[in-house]
Amino acid sequence: MNISERAGSSAGDESCFAGLFPDVDYQFQMRMRRMTVREYFKRSANADAVLAERECWLRTEPLRYAAYLPEARESVEEAFGHLRDLDLIPPLDGQSDSESPERILREFGHRLEPDVVFLRPDAARDFRMVAACVCFPSSWNLEEKIGRPLAEIHGPVPTLNAELGGSISKFLHRMAPGVAWCRENWGLSASPELNHHPSRGLPRLESTVKLAGVWLRVERQALVALQKSGGILFAIRVEVFPLANVIADHSARLGMRRALETMSEDVAGYKGLTAARKRVVELLA
Ligand code: HEM
C-alpha cells in the first residue's frame, strides 16, 4: 500500500518546506502558529487516496490503530460537534448525537485525513492521552501510549522533556480556544509509506543509501483546545516528499544539511539516522 508519492506531489512548491529548516543549529522547538480549524482540516488534493488507506488499516487491524478510554467521551463528542458544525465531518448517518464515542472516534478515522489524539488533564493537571485514531504513526505504538501522561509519551525522545517539557505543559494549559495551534516535526525515511507502525518492520536508512531511496516525512500537527470538556484535540497530518525535492529547494537543502550536521548523536539515533546521516549530508552537498 503506497500512496505517498501522490501525498508528496505538491513538492516543488517552495512553501511545502517553509519554516521546516530554520537557519540555526538543530534543536527541538515549539514554533506554534495560529491557523483556523477549517484551514487545517480541509481536504487535500490526495484526500480520496489517504482516506482509502485509512479505511484499510482500520478495517484490517482496528485495535492497533484506534484506542479509547471512557474518560475521553466528552472531549470526543465535543470535537465531533465542532468539526460537524464547520462542515468538516458529516453528521452520523441517520443516528442521534448520543452515538457511542468509539463509533465517533472511528468516524474521525474514516472521514478526516489527519490522525487524531485526545488529551485530558488528570488529577495532577498532567495531560494524558485518553483516545486516539492513528493510522500513520511515525514508528510508535498507540498501545504503549494510551492512558499515559505526555511527559511519559515523550520519554523515548532524547532531551525533549528536559528542553521543552515545561514549555509544552504551560502551552497546553493556556491555549486560547477556537483556533488550531500548528507546528511541524520532520524525519527521514527509507520508505514513502504513510503508516510507519513498528509492527510493519519497514526498512531503515542505511549508510549506502541512494538519493531515490530517501524520503522526507513531515508531520503537520494542530492542537485545538476543547473548551467545554477541558480536553485537547491533537491532530497529525503526514506528508512525504522525495529527498530530491528538498535538494531542488535551495534554502530547504541548506537548512536540512545544517540540521543533520548539528544534531546530537542521541537525537540522530532516535530519528533512525545513525547509519545514514553522513551519506545524506553528502547527498545534500
Ligand atoms: C505541544 C507541543 C509538542 C511538541 C513541541 C512536541 C515535540 C515532539 C518532538 C520534537 C518529537 C520527536 C519527533 C522527532 O524529532 O522525530 C515528538 C514525538 C512525539 N510526540 Fe510530541 N510534541 C508536542 C505535543 C505532543 C502531543 C500533544 C502529543 C500527544 C500525545 C505528542 C505525542 C508524541 C508522540 C507519540 C511522539 C513519538 C514518541 C516516540 O517515538 O515514542 N506530542 N514530539
Model confidence band, residue 1 (pLDDT cutoffs 50, 70, 90): very low
Q: Indicate if ligand 1 lies below 6 Å from the C-beta of 187.
A: yes
Q: Is residue 80 part of a domain?
A: yes
What average pLDDT does the segment 56-64 reach? 97
Extract the C-alpha cell encoding 281.
549530508
Nearest CA to ligand 1 atom 36: 154
Question: What's the pLDDT tens digit per position in 119-152?
Answer: 999 999 999 999 999 999 999 999 999 999 999 9
Residue 5 has pLDDT above 80, yes or no: no
Please report whether residue 74 resides in a domain: yes
C-alpha cell at 231: 480536553
Closest CA to 97 of 88, 86, 107, 111: 107
Joined together, the cell numbers standing for residue 1 give 500500500
Best probe residue, ligand 1, of 130, 170, 183, 185 (max atoms within 8 Å of C-beta): 185
Rounded to an integer, the average pLDDT of 36-43 is 97
Q: Does 185 contact ligand 1 (Cβ within 6 A)?
A: yes
Q: Is the pLDDT of residue 59 over 70?
A: yes
Residue 9: pLDDT over 50: no
- Residue 154 near ligand 1, beta carbon < 6 Å: yes
* 12 has a pLDDT exceeding 50: no
pLDDT for position 7: 42
Nearest-angstrom CA–CA distance, 81 and 75:
10
* HSE (side-chain half, CA atoms, 13 Å) at 137: 20
Average pLDDT of 172-185? 96
For helices 73-85 and 101-111, angle between their N-to-C axes, nearest 10 degrees:
40
The protein residue with its alpha carbon nearest to ligand 1, atom 19, reads 154
- Is residue 258 assigned to a domain? no
Q: What percent of the chain has pLDDT over 70?
A: 93
Ligand 1 nearest atom to the CA of residue 156, by list position: 41
Q: How many CA atoms lie within 13 A of 69 on its CB side?
A: 16
Stretch (H or E) spanning 263: none
Please name the residues in contact with 251: beta carbons below 8 A apart, sequence gap of 6 or more: 14, 17, 21, 23
164 lines ligand 1 (CB under 6 A): yes
Look at residue 281 and tell me if it is in a domain.
no
Average pLDDT, the chain: 93
pLDDT for the residue numbered 97: 54
Ligand 1 binding pocket includes 148 (Cβ within 6 Å): no
Tell whether 254 is covered by a domain: no
pTM: 0.94
pLDDT of residue 14 exceeding 70, the answer is no
Containing structural domain, residue 85: 4-12+30-197+215-242
Query: Per residue in 203-227, pLDDT tens?
Result: 999 999 999 999 999 999 999 999 9
For residue 95, pLDDT beyond 90: no
In a domain, 269, yes or no: no
Tell me whether residue 271 is in a domain.
no
* Residue range 78-94, pLDDT digits in tens: 999 999 999 999 888 76
CA of 196 to the centre of ligand 1 (A): 15
C-alpha cell at 271: 530519528
Total of domains in the chain: 1
